Structure 1
Amino acid sequence: MESKPIRLTRPLVIAAITVALILGLLVGGALDIGKRLFGGPDPETVATSALQSMRAQNRLVPFVARYVSVVSSRQERLGGLVSSERTLVLPGDVRYELDLAKLDADDVRWDSATNTLTVTLPEIEIAGPEVDLAAAREYGEGGVLSAVTNTDQALDRNNRNRAVADLRKQAGSAVPMRLAREAGRQAVERSFVLPLQAAGFDNARVVARYPTEGSPVTEPLDHSRSYNDVLDEARQ
C-alpha cells in the first residue's frame, strides 16, 4: 500500500520552530549554569599554561646582532728604529637571550581589577661573540723586527684578545641592549596575550618588565668565549 507524503501545515512548522527555540534556550541555559557552577577557563590558569609552555622552550633569542672590530698593535724597539705593526679586522655575531627556565609562578601576576598580567623577566644574557673566522683579515707592515723575531705572532695574539673584548663592549653598549630588551619584552608579551585572547579574554593586557627596569645602566650577563677558544674549536 503506497503511503502518502506528510505535509506540514503552517501551524505545525511554527510549533516545531518554537519547540526548537525552547530546547535551544534550555540547553544554552544549562551550559551557562554549568559554567557558573564548575567554572570556565580563568586567566590565572591560562597564564600558568603559557608559563609552562615557555619554560619548556628553555632559551629565547629575541635579538641577534653582528659587529666588526678593527684593532691594531704596534711594537717598537731601539728607540723606534725598528718596529712592527699588525691590524686585525674581526667580525662576530652576538645573540641576546632570555633564560625562560628562570621564570616561575611568582614572576607572573594577574590583576583582575585592571585585567592586566604582569610578568617579571630574567635579565638579557649575551651569548658570544661567535667570531667569523672566514671573514677575519690580518694585515701588517713588514720590517726588520718582524724578520728577526716572533713579534708578528705576539701582535696577532694581542689583536685577537683586544678584538674580542671590543666586540663584547659593542654588544653591551646602550643601544643594542635597549633593542634586545625591547625585543625580548615584546616576544614574551605576545606569548602570554595570544592564549589569553584565544580563551576569550580579549581585554587582557600583558606587561613584561625586567627586574632592573628603570635603572640608568644595565650590565648584561656575559656568556662569551675567547677568540682562542673559537679558533681552537675551528681547527679541531
Structure 2
Amino acid sequence: MADRLKRYAGPVAVALLILIVGGAMLVGWQRYNRDYVVSVEDDGSAVTKVIAARIAGTSSLKVSEMSGTIQSTAQDVRGFGLLKSDQLVKMPFTVDYFVDVSRLSASDLEWNPQTRTLIVHAPDVAPGRPNVDESRRTLVRTGGLFVTRQAGEALNRRVSAHAQQRAQATARAPERMAQARDYGRAAIGRLMAAPLAAAGFGDAQVVVTFPPERTARNGEQWDVTTPLNEVLANTPPQR
C-alpha cells in the first residue's frame, strides 16, 4: 500500500501544480481583460460599457455625509527639466460616514432601570472613501510651454490622487469627526428606539458613546446595573 501511494504521489503533485498554475493564469487573464482590453463595436470604435461589477452586503449604518468643492493642483517636469507643466482643477466631492453596527454585542448595551436609560458603547464612526466627481469639474486650468500627452495624463492622475488625499484628510479632521459622531448618536438612537418601544420602554433615553469619549473618561464607569439583554429577556411581550 505504501509503495502504491509513493507511486501516485508524484503524478498527483504534478496535477495539483498544473491546476494551481492554470488557476493563476486564468485570474491574471481576467484582470488583464478587465483593465486593459478595449471593448469595440463592429466598426472598431470603442464603446462605453460596464466591464466588471460586484455587489456585496454591508452591515454599516450611514450616519452622515460631508460635501463640498475641492481645489487640487499637480506639476509635471520632463525633458531634463525643460518641459514644465501644471494643472489646477476645482470639482465637487462627498464623503460618507459609517458605523459598523455588526460589531455591537450584548456587552456593549447597558441599562439603567432608575433613569430608564440605555447606554450604547458603539464602535467609532469611520469615513468612507471620498467620492470626487471629476465629471462635474467647474474649473480646469493647465499651464506649460508644451504639454505632451503623457504629461497631461500624469497631471490628471496626480490631480485626482491629490484631491482624494486632501478630501480624506479633511474628513478625518477632529472637528469633522466630532460632527459625524453627533449625527451617529442620533442615528443609533433611532435604531435602538424600535426594540425599546416594542419591549415597553418607549419613553427610555438612549445615550451613545464612542471610543474616544470612553477613553477620555479615564476609566470612569457609567451608573448602570443590568445588561440590556437580561432586561429584554425578563420583559413580558407587549400586546
Query: Is the TM-score greater than 0.5?
Result: yes
User: What is aligned with 1:204?
Assistant: 204
Contact kept? 2:76, 2:154, Cα under 8 Å = no
Are 1:135 and 2:121 an aligned pair?
A: no
Q: Are residues 1:92 and 2:93 paired?
A: yes
Distance 2:199 2:82 in 1: 78
1:183-202, aligned counterparts within 5 Å? 183-197=183-197, 199-201=199-201
Larger gyration radius, structure 1 or structure 2: 1
Q: Give the secondary structure class of the aligned counterpart of 2:129.
A: strand
Q: State the secondary structure of the residue aligned to 2:73.
A: strand
Structure 2 unaligned blocks of 5 or more: 1-56, 217-239
Aligned to 2:142, the other structure's residue is in SS state strand
Return the offset for 1:122.
1.0
Read off the aligned partner of 2:142 and give its amino acid letter: G
Compared with structure 1, are the counterparts of its residues 154 and 196 closer, same or farther at alpha carbon in structure 2 (3 Å cutoff)? closer
- Provide the secondary structure at the position in 2 that maps to 1:168: helix
Retained in 1: the 8 A contact 2:96–2:128? yes
Inter-partner Cα distance in structure 1 for 2:106 and 2:198: 21
Deviation at 1:138, TM superposition (A): 3.2
Where 1:213 maps in the other structure, the secondary structure is helix
Identity of aligned residues (%): 28
- Alignment match, 2:114: 113
Equivalent residues of 1:69, 1:90 under 8 A apart: yes
**Local SS of the residue matching 1:113:** coil
Amino acid at match of 1:151: A
Residue correspondence of structure 1 range 155-234 to structure 2 within 5 A: 155-197=155-197, 199-201=199-201, 203-213=203-213
The CA RMSD over aligned residues, in Å, is 2.9
When residues 102 and 77 of structure 1 are mapped into structure 2, their CA distance, relative to the original with a 3 A threshold, is closer
Residues 120 and 88 from structure 1, CA distance in 2 versus in 1: closer, same or farther, beyond 3 angstroms?
A: same
CA distance in 2, matches of 1:97, 1:134: 25
Match of 1:5? none
CA displacement at 1:189 relative to structure 2: 1.7
3-state SS of paired residue (1:128):
coil
Q: How many residues align?
A: 159
* Aligned equivalents of 2:101, 2:65: Cα separation in 1: 17
Q: TM-score, normalised by structure 1?
A: 0.58
Structure that is richer in helix per residue: 1
- Do the aligned residues in 1 keep the contact of 2:108 with 2:121 (CA within 8 Å)? yes
Q: For 1:101-136, what per-residue CA distance to the aligned partner results, in whole angstroms no more than 9, with x for missing partners?
A: 111100001122332211101111211212213213
Q: Structure 2 length normalisation: TM-score?
A: 0.57
2:150 aligned partner: 150
Q: Is 1:125 aligned to 2:126, yes or no?
A: yes
In the TM superposition, residue 81 of structure 1 has moved relative to its aligned partner by 6.3
Deviations 1:59-97 (A, max 9, x none): 211101213221222345789865322112232221101
Describe the shift of the 1:117–1:179 C-alpha distance in structure 2 as closer, same or farther (beyond 3 A): same
